[in-house]
Structure 1
Amino acid sequence: MTAELAGTGRRWIGSLQDGHRDTDLSSVSAAWWRKPSDYGSRDGTEQAWMTAEAEFGLGGLLAALPDVRWINHPHRNRLADDKPRQLSLAAKAGLAVPAALITNDPVAARIFVARQTNGAVYKPLRGGPRTPEGDRLLLHTELVTVDQINDGVRTTTHLFQERVPCAFSVRVTSIGDRVFAVRIDTQDSEILDWRADHDRLSYSPIEIPAEAAAGLAALNRELGLVYSASDWIVTPDGTWTFLENNPNGQWAWLEQHTGLPLTSALVDALTIRRTTT
């Protein structure tokens, strides 16, 4: 990578090189920020500094490119991944969201869990941690009871939520102004997190109610997202309850199981320039 801030307009001029191509920065009109690999090990003071320099140099340069259609802009992704902000904005957009508590106080956690009529769950605020080898650990949503909460809660912040009665789950993939909703059913009614039963799931396209669709569209506009993968629970009485919105969530397996044109929608969002009036 070589880029110089030059010219009368002081734009970044240069190119990105890898083993396959040499890309002129001025030719970039669309970018898909799709789970880039880490910038290297963070072990050791010198390595951590090198990693940070690469992240803010290469990452910052890409984010600064003008007139680029992003899915999604990396700065938007980072802000949108903030779960407390997501939940408050979702409620503001009119979506049903579970009661929630963020705390490192075990007393507050016990009080919250005790007053949830349908029980309570614990879920991570972000994806699971990485092992020293770089593998990502997957942490599932789990039931939690009052007697399980001990002083270990003080070590960091935790997210507790009310358990929402579930008739079935839904993954909604939003791409631009197109919305694809897929019903996800498990064979085990005791499963709280369908990712824990991945090999036995069944999928079927479903229509998202107009109010839920409008609320999700408002949330994505507020977060600045072109693409999002949101998770929902539909209760036995038919209420669509918003759980979270992943700005860079998986999608291809849904197309394989349902035939929904997710790939085509992504291509259109990256290549079709929309005019404004």
Structure 2
Amino acid sequence: MTGTGPVAVATEADDRTADMVITELNRRDVPVIRFNPADIGHSLTVSAQFGTCPAIPAGQVRTPSRTAELAGIRSLYWRRPTWPAFEHLAPQDARFAAAHARHGLGGVLYALPHCLFVNHPLRNRGAEHKPLQLATAQRLGLTVPPTLVSNDLTDIRAFIHAHGEVIHKTLRWTPYQQGDTGLTSWTEPVTADTVDESVAVVPHLFQARVDKIADVRVVVAGTRLFAVRIDSDLLDWRRDYGALTYSVIDLPPQLEKALLAYLEHFGLASGSFDLALDRTGGFHWLELNPNGQWGWLEDETGLPLTVAFADLLMRGRS
């Protein structure tokens, strides 16, 4: 059942994907309130009551141009929000303020009633851990490449020797600066000779390399799946978007069923899966980004992704 309240969009100022969805919602005359948690105390306020009103919570979230009743928000699109760091405060005060922003504003938003979350931030966080992703995918019958998560040099070298061609991935993308330059960690090949005792500091993810002919990105909005084959000669296709070609493909029904079951397991309304397609036509599960980018795929393929997400947000929780 379609609700009548506003759709809330939590994201940073520069977010083209959110812009696309908001434009479509505006075209449909669906009210939207957009905000970024980092603006709390400047252009964002929240006021919520518990225990004194029938609605839980009762109150409002306000920006300079919009006000929304918390109990009336039909859906929350948790896109690319950032949290305030309060860098103008002393370190102890900044830590205190940052914690209260997350647990105050965040806690109120997480408690929204009758609201469809795309996705609920706490469920996003629960689904982000790659070891848990791998275990869940395997339990659901998806093909998972042999993978080792370890900080034991002996085990790592034994794994590399056993599987021959092995790649290294980060367990979580983390902002990293070298001077004024932002650095990105890519998926890279690794050999037994190139790993050393430094791996003991933290666990690392090593995976047998799939003999792939293409990558596949699958974007899910509700129960609608959109699969795009990405062809290139790159191990990590993110390194050079100019070297990629795209084509829309159909997935085997059993694979579609497994991917939807995966999202249901984590309580997610949407997600972006990365798969590898091998020379025999087999699909290998690589990872899920609970809040992955998809805007450029619509540009490249014409897939109605914006419409699908607007439909989902407009419908709210049925």
Q: Which TM-score band (shorter chain)?
A: over 0.9
1:9 CA displacement: 4.0
Query: Cα deviation per residue 1:118-147 (whole Å; 9 max; x = unaligned)?
Result: x10100111133449999643111100000
Q: Tell me the number of residue pairs that the alignment of Structure 1 and Structure 2 aligns.
A: 271
Moved more, 121-130 or 40-49: 40-49
Percent sequence identity over aligned pairs: 38
The SS at the match of 1:146 is coil
Q: Where do 5+ consecutive residues of structure 1 fail to align?
A: none
Indicate the residue corresponding to 2:229 in structure 1: 183
Tell me which residue corresponds to 1:122: 168
Alignment of 1:67-216 (within 5 A): 67-117=114-164, 119-131=165-177, 137-186=183-232, 189=233, 191-216=234-259
What CA distance in whole angstroms lies between the structure 1 residues aligned with 2:181 and 2:313?
30
- 2:296 aligned partner: 253
Moved over 6 A (4+): 132-136
Judged with a 3 Å threshold, the aligned counterparts in structure 2 of structure 1 residues 59 and 238 are, in CA distance, closer, same or farther, namely: same
Alpha-carbon distance change, 214 to 136 in structure 1, aligned in 2, over 3 angstroms: farther
Matched, 1:26 2:64: no
Aligned to 2:7: none
Q: Which moved more, 1:261-270 or 1:212-221?
A: 212-221
| Cα RMSD (Å) | 2.0
Hey, what's the Cα distance between the residues in 2 that align with 1:108 and 1:90? 23
Choose which of 257, 265, 283 in structure 2 pairs with 1:222.
265
Q: 1:13 aligns with which of 54, 58, 63?
A: 58
State the 1:75 CA deviation: 1.1
1:64 to 111, 114, 121: 111
Partner AA of 1:233 in structure 2: A
Aligned amino acid, residue 201 of structure 1: L
Hey, what's the Cα distance between the residues in 2 that align with 1:135 and 1:17? Answer: 36
Counterpart check, 1:266 vs 2:313? no
Sort the Cα spacing of 1:30 and 1:209 in 2 relative to 1 into closer, same or farther, 3 A: same
Say whether the 8 Å CA contact 2:55–2:71 is kept in structure 1.
Answer: no
Contact 1:220 1:226 in 2 (8 A): yes
TM-score relative to the length of structure 2: 0.81
TM-score (norm 1): 0.92
Change (3 A) 1:181 1:134: farther
